[in-house]
Chains A and B, each alone.
Chain A
Amino acid sequence: MIGSRRQILIRKILVWIALILGACFAGLPVLWMVSSSFKSNLEIFAYPPALIDESFSFQAYEAVLSDPGQLRFFFNSYLVAILVTICTVITSILAGYSLSRYDFRFKKVLSLIIIGVQSVPPITLMIPYFGLIVWLGIYNSYAALVLTYMVFTLSYAIIMMTGYFNTLPRDLDEAVMIDGGGSFVTLWRILVPISLPGIVAVGVYTFMLAWNEFLFALTLTRTNDMRTVPIGIHLLMGQHSFEWNQMLALSVLGSLPVLILFLLFQRYFIAGMSAGSVKG
Chain B
Amino acid sequence: MVSVSPSDISRSSRIGWEQRKRKFLPYAYLSPTLILLAVLTVVPIVTVFLYSLFDNVIVNPNPPEFVGLENYEEVLTHRKFRAAVGNTLYFALASVIVHFIIGLSFALLLNSRLLGTNVKAFFRVLYILPWVFTASIIAILWRLLMNPHGVINFVLLEVGLIPELLEWLSDRKLAIHSVTFINIWSGYPFYLVSFLAGLQGIPDDLYEAGRVDGGNAWQLFWHITLPQLRPIIISLALLDFIWTIHQFTLVWMTTGGGRNTEVLSTYTYKAAFSSYDYSEASATAMVILAICTFVAIFYVRSQRMADD
Contact = CB atoms under 8 A, between A and B. Distances in A.
B197 A278 contact: yes
Interface in A215-268: 215, 219, 230-231, 233-234, 237, 244, 247-248, 251, 254-255, 258-259, 262-263, 266
A258 B138 CA distance: 14
A77 B175 CA distance: 31
Contacts of A273: 131, 189-190, 193-194
Contacts of B249: 214-215, 230
A132 interface: yes
Given A211-B134, A251-B141, A254-B134, A98 B246 contact: no
B239 interface: yes
A48 interface: yes
Interface stretch (B3-11, B70-78, B218-226, B290-298): B290-298
Contacts of A90: 32
A121 B288 contact: yes
Contact of A104 (B26, B48, B135): B26
Given A95-B30, A104-B26, A127-B285, A278 B232 contact: yes
B272 A127 contact: yes
Contacts, number: 256
B286 A150 contact: no
Contacts of A18: 105, 109
Contact of A114 (B37, B105, B126, B189): B37
Contacts of A180: none
A52 interface: no
A147 interface: yes
A188 interface: no
B71 to A, nearest CB: 13
Given A15-B115, A255-B134, A279-B231, A48 B268 contact: no
Main secondary structure of the interface of A (DSSP, over half): helix
Nearest to A45: B149
Given A230-B134, A248-B140, A274-B194, A124 B285 contact: yes
Interface in B120-176: 123, 125-137, 140-142, 144-145, 147, 149-151, 154
Main secondary structure of the interface of B (DSSP, over half): helix
A261 to B, nearest CB: 9
Given A29-B142, A125-B41, A154 B36 contact: yes
A117 interface: yes
Nearest to B141: A33
B253 A266 contact: no
B129 A27 contact: yes
Interface in B178-213: 185, 189-190, 193-194, 197-198, 201
Interface string B77-96: 00000000000000000000
Contacts of B47: 128, 131-132
Contact of B137 (A11, A121, A124, A254): A254
B106 to A, nearest CB: 6
A117 B222 CA distance: 35
Interface in B12-48: 22-23, 25-27, 29-30, 32-34, 36-37, 39-41, 43-45, 47-48
B306 to A, nearest CB: 4
Interface in B244-299: 245-246, 248-249, 253, 264-265, 268-269, 272-273, 278, 281-282, 285-286, 288-289, 292-293, 295-296, 299
Interface of A: 8, 11-12, 15, 18-19, 22-23, 25-27, 29-30, 32-33, 36, 44-45, 47-49, 90-92, 94-95, 97-99, 102, 104, 107, 110, 112-132, 147-148, 150-151, 154, 158, 183, 208, 211-212, 214-215, 219, 230-231, 233-234, 237, 244, 247-248, 251, 254-255, 258-259, 262-263, 266, 270, 273-274, 276-279
24 contacts: A22-B109, A25-B185, A45-B149, A94-B29, A99-B26, A99-B30, A102-B22, A110-B30, A113-B37, A119-B296, A120-B292, A123-B248, A125-B41, A125-B45, A131-B58, A132-B43, A214-B134, A234-B136, A234-B253, A237-B140, A247-B140, A273-B131, A278-B197, A279-B303
Q: Which 7 A-B pairs have the closest CB atoms?
A: A119-B296, A212-B134, A98-B29, A102-B26, A128-B44, A128-B47, A45-B149
